[in-house]
Homo-oligomer: A and B are copies of this chain.
Amino acid sequence: MKKQTLVLATHDDQLARRWHALGEGWTLVRANRFDALPAGATLALIDAALPDLPAFTHPAWAKLSPTLRMVFASSQPNDPEGLAAINAGCSGYCHAFASAEHLSQVLNVVAAGELWVGRSILARLLRAVESRTAPPAAPAWAGPLTEREREVAQRAALGEANADIAAALAITERTVKSHLTSVFEKLGVNDRLQLALRVHGIK
């Protein structure tokens, strides 16, 4: 297997020496600045402390990400920064002073085209989706509601007028209002807008 070129992008000589320790398996190239990333490179380990590092929202990241697989290394990793890095197009996020074994593993994974994020971030991601993949199975808001009330609430929460709901369910507008009154009371809200926010998980 031919050695792949790995760009070590850091301004910190000490860190650079440390990173050079993971020498086997890679053709190492040093870059002192973000601007100095070699054009043809395909894999880079990027120090969060680089002086000229652009903000994650800067288009430079989007420009690089399609061709360059970037691992963002922070000396003080934290979840928000990690998420931002991944969102910016980085393929990995880890501790800058991690062990050579760990860094190698991260780089191997990323070089293989996968993404790497740590336990902590993954756990946070899972928690985030959990709360939005679970609802469809068990609509938490519909706890004490009856079947009919749920139908009406669902439609009201999507912005349908009472008259439309009545027509759709083949009942009177009066009945729709009746159901909604029950729904409001049971869910402890005052109007259909509050209901909508509740149903859709806002507030």
Residues of A whose CB lies within 8 Å of any CB of B are 57, 80, 83, 86-87, 102, 105, 108-109, 112-115, 117-119, 122-126, 128-130, 132-134, 137, 158-159, 191-194, 196-197, 200, 202-203
Residues of B within 8 A of A83 (CB): 126, 129, 133
A122 x B126 contact (CB < 8 A): no
Residues of B within 8 A of A102 (CB): 112
Residues of B within 8 A of A200 (CB): 197, 200, 202
A124 x B129 contact (CB < 8 A): yes
Residues of B within 8 A of A196 (CB): 193, 196-197, 202
The 5 A-B residue pairs with the shortest CB-CB distance, nearest first, are A125-B125, A128-B129, A159-B193, A115-B122, A159-B194
CA distance A109 to B200 in the complex (A): 36
A57 x B137 contact (CB < 8 A): yes
Q: Distance in Å from the Cβ of A11 to the closest Cβ of chain B?
A: 27
CA distance A83 to B134 in the complex (A): 11
A86 x B159 contact (CB < 8 A): no
Q: Distance in Å from the Cβ of A4 to the closest Cβ of chain B?
A: 15
Tell me whether A125 and B129 are in contact in the complex, defined as CB-CB below 8 angstroms, given that A102-B112, A159-B203 are known contacts. yes
CA distance A105 to B110 in the complex (A): 11
B109 x A113 contact (CB < 8 A): no
CA distance A86 to B102 in the complex (A): 22
Closest residue of chain B to A129 (Cβ to Cβ) is: B128
Q: Distance in Å from the Cβ of A66 to the closest Cβ of chain B?
A: 15
CA distance A148 to B108 in the complex (A): 50
Residues of B within 8 A of A130 (CB): 87
A117 x B122 contact (CB < 8 A): yes
Residues of B within 8 A of A126 (CB): 83, 86-87, 125
